[in-house]
Amino acid sequence: MKLFKNQSGQGMTEYIIIVAVIALAGIAAFSYFGKTVRNQTAAMSESLAGDKAAATTAITAADTSAGKAATEGTTDANLKDYVDRQE
């Protein structure tokens, strides 16, 4: 009887680990892609809520963030200007 109880606990532990890994992947994606993804997510939520003006503003902010990221991605960086590049 004890054997069966341990197996159900093991299954629950595996599910918790899987959920934690998926959550960490989501957090990493939002952190890695930064403002662009956050602004796009805001635009989607505002569109679903029916607020067209706020959605348009969020889309414009996402475009601006993407342009800034593209510009920063093409510039050379080193430790001398590391502090200046932080927001």
Average pLDDT over residues 12-27: 93
Which residues, 6+ apart, have CB-to-CB distance to 52 below 8 Å?
A: 46
**């930064």: which residue's tokens?**
34
> pLDDT by residue (tens digit) across 26-79?
888 888 778 888 888 889 888 888 988 988 998 898 888 888 877 877 777 777
The reply to whether the predicted model has a pTM over 0.85 is no
User: Could you give the CA distance from residue 86 to residue 41 in angstroms, rounded to a whole number?
Assistant: 23
**């197996």: which residue's tokens?**
7
- Given a cut of 60, is residue 5 above it in pLDDT? no
Reported residue count of the chain is 87
Q: Quick one: pLDDT at residue 63?
A: 87
Instruction: List Cβ<8 Å contacts ≥24 apart for 66-72.
Output: 66/36, 69/34, 69/35, 69/36
